[in-house]
């Protein structure tokens, strides 16, 4: 067993966090991961306030272990989300996509552990200054929204670890115990895993999306929309529209127009593989099966221990 600052902070058995992803991670996935000994997160970014409340209540009824909520700080109704989280005494919040100074103190005053997701040393230092308990450092290979610097996990983790004095959770490119062990060598004390858990029975991703990920090969995701907010997309018809527009030097307004509204829901939740926005990491090239979340979790963890053992000196 690995015990470190992260397992102590979250009061979990195994240092694996399931990423709180839009449209993919509701109460079924979060409670499965927390019950397996990791930290399950609800993805609040795609939930209305009453939906988040429902998912918190259901998660509490299906696990007695710690769980958390991922909260994108640019969410329009964020005050309602924060009130719901505080009212229901959710023990842990991962914030992302926004300024960590805005809500960290309010959450900590309510006794909540706060973790902020960053893509650079610069933002890691800002998050530490804001008083967060830990940092997720997420590399270029991650699915969904991403940093402007394009720093990969291999380069980002040791750089961040050298600059902060709070524990670092590695994210981006981790779907196996080998990658988890690699991140521990880089100085991370836990990993956050998204794409691999999208491929669980418990994820709320549409089965069309899961099937498309099974077909995905290397090079089938790409970081797009860099002039708006960079996002890693799985290639489909919508991706091609964006790629053509970017190639001809389309303006931000044109790109916003192409993006439109509710594209991510349409793709990942409703299963429209043509018009939908499909967010997944580069590891999609290595994901070939849909399995129970607890099995994915256990396979990664035992592979992690086996890898450390194999490389022990």
Task: Kindly list the residues in this chain that would bind a second copy in the complex (CB under 8 A).
Answer: 120-122, 139-141, 148-156, 158-159, 162, 172-174, 176, 178-179, 181-187, 218-219, 222-223, 247-249, 282-283, 285-286, 305, 307-309, 311-313
Q: First-to-last CA distance in the chain?
A: 18
User: What's the min distance (Å) between Cβ of 229 and a second copy?
Assistant: 16
User: What's the min distance (Å) between Cβ of 126 and a second copy?
Assistant: 14
User: What's the min distance (Å) between Cβ of 219 and a second copy?
Assistant: 3
If we measure between CA atoms, which residue out of 101, 186, 164, 169 comes closest to residue 135? 169
Task: Give the residue with the Cβ less far from a second copy, 62 or 239.
Answer: 239
If we measure between CA atoms, which residue out of 59, 76, 61 comes closest to residue 20? 59
Look at the block and give the residue holding tokens 């022990």.
312
User: What's the min distance (Å) between Cβ of 25 and a second copy?
Assistant: 21
Task: Give the residue with the Cβ less far from a second copy, 59 or 151.
Answer: 151
Beta pairing partners, 95: 71, 116
Report the alpha-carbon distance of residue 122 to residue 278 in Å, rounded. Answer: 29
Element (H, E) at 115: strand 113-118
If we measure between CA atoms, which residue out of 133, 243, 245, 55 comes closest to residue 41? 55
Buried b (16+ CB within 10 A) or exposed e, 188-207: bbbbbbbbbbbbbbbbbbbe
Report the alpha-carbon distance of residue 230 to residue 244 in Å, rounded. Answer: 16
- For CA atoms 126, 127, 133, 135, the dihedral sign is negative
User: What's the min distance (Å) between Cβ of 54 and a second copy?
Assistant: 35
User: What's the min distance (Å) between Cβ of 51 and a second copy?
Assistant: 33
- For CA atoms 190, 195, 197, 203, the dihedral sign is positive
Look at the block and give the residue holding tokens 């991140």.
183
Task: Give the residue with the Cβ less far from a second copy, 29 or 245.
Answer: 245
Element (H, E) at 72: strand 67-72
Task: Give the residue with the Cβ less far from a second copy, 17 or 47.
Answer: 17
Task: Give the residue with the Cβ less far from a second copy, 53 or 279.
Answer: 279
User: What's the min distance (Å) between Cβ of 153 and a second copy?
Assistant: 5
* Cβ pair 124, 115 in contact under 8 A: no
Task: Give the residue with the Cβ less far from a second copy, 105 or 251.
Answer: 251
Task: Give the residue with the Cβ less far from a second copy, 56 or 186.
Answer: 186
User: What's the min distance (Å) between Cβ of 286 and a second copy?
Assistant: 6
Task: Give the residue with the Cβ less far from a second copy, 106 or 217.
Answer: 217
Beta pairing partners, 192: 17, 171
Beta pairing partners, 222: 233
């Amino acid at each position: 067993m690995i015990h470190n600052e992260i397992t102590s902070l979250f009061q979990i058995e195994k240092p694996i966090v399931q990423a709180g992803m839009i449209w993919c991670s509701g109460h079924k996935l979060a409670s499965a991961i927390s019950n397996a000994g990791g930290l399950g997160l609800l993805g609040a970014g795609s939930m209305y306030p009453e939906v988040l409340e429902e998912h918190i209540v259901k998660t509490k009824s299906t696990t007695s272990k710690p769980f958390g909520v991922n909260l994108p700080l640019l969410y329009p109704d964020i005050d309602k989300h924060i009130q719901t989280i505080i009212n229901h005494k959710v023990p842990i919040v991962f914030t992302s996509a926004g300024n960590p100074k805005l809500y960290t103190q309010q959450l900590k005053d309510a006794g909540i552990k706060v973790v902020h997701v960053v893509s650079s040393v610069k933002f890691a230092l800002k998050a530490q200054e804001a008083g967060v308990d830990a940092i997720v450092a997420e590399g270029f290979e991650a699915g969904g929204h991403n940093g402007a610097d394009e720093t990969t996990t291999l380069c980002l983790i040791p750089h961040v670890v050298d600059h902060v004095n709070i524990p670092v959770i590695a994210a981006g490119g981790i779907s196996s115990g080998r990658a988890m062990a690699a991140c521990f060598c880089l100085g991370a004390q836990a990993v956050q895993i998204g794409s691999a858990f999208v491929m669980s029975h418990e994820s709320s991703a549409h089965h069309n999306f899961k099937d498309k990920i099974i077909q995905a090969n290397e090079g089938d995701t790409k970081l797009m929309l860099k002039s708006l907010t960079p996002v890693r997309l799985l290639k489909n018809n919508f991706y091609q529209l964006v790629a053509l527009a970017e190639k001809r030097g389309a303006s931000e307004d044109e790109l916003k127009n192409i993006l439109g509204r509710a594209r991510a829901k349409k793709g990942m939740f409703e299963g429209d593989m043509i018009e939908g926005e499909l967010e997944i990491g580069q590891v999609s090239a290595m994901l070939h099966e849909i399995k129970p979340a607890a099995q994915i979790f256990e396979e990664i963890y035992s592979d992690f221990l086996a890898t450390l053992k194999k490389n022990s000196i």
